[in-house]
C-alpha cells in the first residue's frame, strides 16, 4: 500500500502465511471446571487472503480470535502471526507486536473497538502515532482512509457516540486498516447492523481486499462471509470440521453441520433442503 518493502523476515517478505494456527487447544476454567473451547484447530491464512470462520454460538469463533490476538492463552499448539511465533508471548511482547501494527481487529460492537472519549480523528491517528508516524502525516492518512470507508471528512471532529452504528463500524474498520496491517481479525463485524449498513460494510470489506491485507472474518452467518471469503472454515463444538473455498463449502459441504448450515440458508442454494432433510442432519449431529 505504501510501496515500501516489507520488513525482512516478515510474512510479506518470506511468502510465509500471515497467520498459521497449528493444533491449537484453548481451555477455560480451572480444575473441575476446566472445559475445552478449541480442540486441535489448524488453519493458515496467506497474505492477502480472506478467510471466513463460521459456526454456531459457542462453537469457539471468538476464542479463536482472542487467541490470535493474545487475549487468551493456548493450552497446546502454536500460533504464528506475521512470521512471528506468538504462542508464548507475554504482555510486553504482545504490546510490541500490536505497536508495530502487524495485526488489528474489529469487534461486533464498534464501541468496543473505539474509545468513546476520542474524536474520530484521534481514534484514527492514534495507532499511526503509536507506530511512529508524525501527527500531520497521520491526519492525512486518516482522511484518506475515511474516504475509503465512504465516510465524509466532516465526521473527524465527532465522538463515536455522535455517529450511527453503521458509521461507527466503518470508523472501526478504518482504524484497524490505517496502519496497513498484515492481518485484520473481524469478529462478527456486521451482525449488529441493519441490512442496509450490513451490505455497505460487506462491500467496503470486499474493496479493502485490494489493499493486500489478510482478513479473518468471523460470523455465525455463512451468507455474510460467502460473498467476500476466498476460503471458509467451519467450526463446530471447538473443532474445525471443514475448510474449503466458499464455492466448495456451499456446493459440496462434507460435514453434516456444514450441510445443515448451507441447507438452512436458502439464498446460497438454488434447491434448499426440505425440513425432513434438515431434521435428519440435526439428528445425525446430536446422535
Ligand X SMILES: Nc1ncnc2c1ncn2[C@@H]1O[C@H](COP(=O)(O)OP(=O)(O)OP(=O)(O)O)[C@@H](O)[C@H]1O
Residues 6+ apart with CB under 8 A from 45: 17, 18, 19, 20, 51, 183, 214, 216
How many residues of this chain bind ligand X (CB under 6 A)? 12
- What distance in Å separates the CA atoms of residue 287 and residue 284, rounded to the nearest whole number? 5
CB-nearer residue toward ligand X: 113 or 179: 113
> 200-223 b/e with 16+ CB inside 10 Å = b?
bbbebbeebbeeebbbbbbbeebb
| CB 192 to ligand X: min, Å | 12
Interaction between residue 232 and ligand X (CB under 6 A): no
Interaction between residue 132 and ligand X (CB under 6 A): no
| CB 97 to ligand X: min, Å | 22
Using CA atoms of 239, 242, 247, 252 in order, give the dihedral in degrees to the nearest 10.
-130
Using CB under 6 A, pick the residue from 24, 47, 52, 62 that binds ligand X.
62
From the list 51-59, 74-82, 118-126, 156-164, the region that binds ligand X by CB under 6 A is 51-59
Interaction between residue 29 and ligand X (CB under 6 A): yes
Residues 6+ apart with CB under 8 A from 26: 36, 37, 38, 60, 63, 64, 67, 72, 73, 74, 75
How does DSSP classify residue 47? T
Interaction between residue 166 and ligand X (CB under 6 A): no
Interaction between residue 220 and ligand X (CB under 6 A): yes
CB-nearer residue toward ligand X: 182 or 188: 188
Using CB under 6 A, pick the residue from 18, 37, 69, 125 that binds ligand X.
37
CB-nearer residue toward ligand X: 62 or 123: 62
| CB 128 to ligand X: min, Å | 30
CB-nearer residue toward ligand X: 191 or 211: 191
* Beta strands per DSSP E along 35-82: 35-45, 50-54, 76-81
Interaction between residue 59 and ligand X (CB under 6 A): yes
Interaction between residue 28 and ligand X (CB under 6 A): yes
CB-nearer residue toward ligand X: 42 or 211: 42
From the list 44-52, 60-68, 176-184, 225-233, the region that binds ligand X by CB under 6 A is 60-68
Interaction between residue 169 and ligand X (CB under 6 A): no
Contact 182, 213 (CB under 8 A): yes
- What distance in Å separates the CA atoms of residue 251 and residue 264, rounded to the nearest whole number? 13
Output Rg (C-alpha) for the chain, integer angstroms: 19
Contact 38, 24 (CB under 8 A): yes
Interaction between residue 63 and ligand X (CB under 6 A): yes
Using CB under 6 A, pick the residue from 7, 9, 23, 58 that binds ligand X.
58
Grouping H, G, I as helix, E, B as strand and the rest as coil, residue 21 is: strand
Neighbours of 147 (CB within 10 A): 12
Site residues for ligand X per CB under 6 A: 28-29, 37, 55, 57-63, 220
Amino acid at each position: 500500500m505504501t510501496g515500501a518493502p516489507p520488513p525482512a523476515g516478515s510474512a510479506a517478505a518470506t511468502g510465509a502465511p500471515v497467520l498459521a494456527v497449528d493444533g491449537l487447544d484453548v481451555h477455560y476454567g480451572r480444575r473441575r471446571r476446566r472445559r475445552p473451547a478449541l480442540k486441535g484447530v489448524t488453519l493458515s491464512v496467506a497474505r492477502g487472503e480472506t478467510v471466513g470462520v463460521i459456526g454456531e454460538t459457542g462453537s469457539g469463533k471468538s476464542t479463536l480470535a482472542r487467541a490470535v490476538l493474545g487475549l487468551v492463552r493456548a493450552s497446546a499448539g502454536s500460533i504464528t502471526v506475521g512470521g512471528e511465533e506468538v504462542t508464548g508471548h507475554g504482555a510486553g511482547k504482545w504490546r510490541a507486536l500490536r505497536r508495530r501494527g502487524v495485526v488489528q481487529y474489529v469487534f461486533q460492537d464498534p464501541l468496543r473497538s473505539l474509545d468513546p472519549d476520542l474524536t474520530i480523528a484521534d481514534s484514527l491517528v492514534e495507532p499511526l502515532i503509536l507506530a511512529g508516524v508524525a501527527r500531520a502525516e497521520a491526519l492525512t492518512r486518516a482522511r484518506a482512509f475515511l474516504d475509503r470507508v465512504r465516510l465524509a471528512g466532516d465526521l473527524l471532529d465527532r465522538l463515536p457516540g455522535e455517529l450511527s452504528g453503521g458509521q461507527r463500524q466503518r470508523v472501526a474498520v478504518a482504524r484497524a486498516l490505517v496502519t496497513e496491517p498484515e492481518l485484520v481479525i473481524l469478529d462478527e463485524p456486521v451482525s449488529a447492523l441493519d441490512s442496509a449498513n450490513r451490505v455497505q460494510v460487506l462491500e467496503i470489506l470486499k474493496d479493502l481486499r485490494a489493499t493486500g491485507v489478510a482478513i479473518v472474518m468471523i460470523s455465525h452467518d455463512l451468507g455474510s462471509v460467502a460473498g467476500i471469503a476466498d476460503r471458509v472454515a467451519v467450526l463446530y463444538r471447538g473443532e474445525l470440521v471443514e475448510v474449503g473455498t466458499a464455492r466448495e463449502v456451499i456446493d459440496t459441504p462434507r460435514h453434516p453441520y456444514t450441510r445443515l448450515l448451507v441447507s438452512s440458508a436458502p439464498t446460497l442454494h438454488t434447491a434448499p433442503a426440505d425440513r425432513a432433510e434438515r431434521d435428519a442432519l440435526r439428528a445425525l449431529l446430536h446422535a
